[in-house]
Amino acid sequence: MTMATASFGELAAGALCVWRVTHLFNAEDGPGRVLVRLRRRAGDGWLGQLLDCFYCMSLWVAAPASLLIGSGWTERLLLWLALSGAACLLERATRERSPFAGLVYEEKQEDPHVLRQSETAAFEPSVSR
């Protein structure tokens, strides 16, 4: 195995470039709303699903970046996955969070197939004649 030839600056720039291009295609309108039209035209097919998934898209964007930055096939393969992973981490760190994210409300309902009554019914006085 050969030593990596890419500097830290090249790796950081590569990760930022992969995130930027992936975010552009996945979530932005683009100049003249050209990317919105591209996503609409892509529809629900293979390309449309690719454009809807940031993680999938980052793999495709990272491939040419790893070819440019890396030297040797082993380094390029590792860079491909590393640049995609870095872009995914950047996306998770920068995406807008819903103010209600993580809040879950569940209303417990009694199962209509259970023969017993609720626990509170056991403490209610029964009416006997």
Decide: pTM greater than 0.75.
Answer: no
pLDDT at 12: 95
pLDDT at 122: 54
CA distance 18 to 65: 7
Counted domains in the chain: 1
pLDDT at 68: 94
Amino acid identity of residue 98, one-letter, is: S
Q: Which residues of the chain have pLDDT under 50?
A: 1
Domain holding 73, by residue range, is: 1-129
